[in-house]
Amino acid sequence: MRKFILAALLALATTAGASAQKFLEYGLTAGVNLPDYSTRTADAGIGNKLGWQAGVVVRINTPIVAIQPELLFVRQSMDVNWKGDDIRVRSNSFSLPLLASFRLLRILHLNAGPVFSLTNDCKYKIDGHKYDFGRLQPTVGYAVGAAVQLRRILIDARFNGQFKSKQSLNEHGIDVNVKSYSVAFSLGYLF
């Protein structure tokens, strides 16, 4: 079995080298995201704020498709109007997108795959004290998008979504059923 796996990896590496691309690429990426939080809760209104993300990207190339795992720190926030009170909620999470990256042209890639939310820490302040808001990001979501690679520069645009809404349970009884989507734009550098 080990010989088979080693032979398969060697064949992939040889094929990748023949097509003038590196078998393994890695780099750093950072950018902005435009979240769209929404709720059907009658007593709540939501205002969305610009967020950001930064992390590392790895690309395992084959001639047609690449496997692209990433580890991203994602910061998002929203303003919640709950029964007349305005509350700013900040969400910090580590996300692990596992994307299949299809090479259409030499520089153009289409990306799609699941996104795993490893941690999601959401806090809000009332009278100077921080409280836990509850989880805003699902355990599993999805991402679809496109990227342009110009030598070592990676320009990425993607849509991130979730399959169902998340119920927020917290100390002050702010009961908001939240669904979110976001559009993210990133600039990266591959080594």
Task: Determine the distance from the C-alpha atom of residue 77 to the mean position of all C-alpha atoms in its chain, rounded to a whole number.
Answer: 15
Reported confidence tier of residue 170, pLDDT bands at 50, 70, 90:
low
Residue 10 lies in a domain: no
Residue 11 lies in a domain: no
CATH code for the domain in which residue 38 is found = 2.40.160.20
CA dihedral 72, 162, 187, 94 (to 10 degrees): -10
pLDDT at 20 over 60: no
Task: Determine the distance from the C-alpha atom of residue 94 to the mean position of all C-alpha atoms in its chain, rounded to a whole number.
Answer: 8
What domain range includes position 84?
A: 22-190
Q: Distance between CA 61 and CA 110 in Å, rounded? A: 14
The tens digit of pLDDT for each residue in 44-94 reads 778 889 999 999 999 999 888 999 999 999 999 888 877 777 888 888 999
Residue 14 lies in a domain: no
Residue 60 lies in a domain: yes
pTM: 0.79
Q: Distance between CA 133 and CA 33 in Å, rounded? A: 21
No. of H helices and E strands in the chain? 1, 10
Domain count, the chain: 1
The tens digit of pLDDT for each residue in 94-133 reads 999 999 999 888 899 999 999 998 877 888 877 777 877 7
Residue 74 lies in a domain: yes
Q: Residue type for 85, please?
A: D
Give yes or no for a contact between 116 and 140, defined as CB atoms under 8 angstroms apart: yes
Residue 12 lies in a domain: no
Residue 122 lies in a domain: yes
Q: Which residue has the tokens 């990133």?
A: 186
Residue 139 lies in a domain: yes
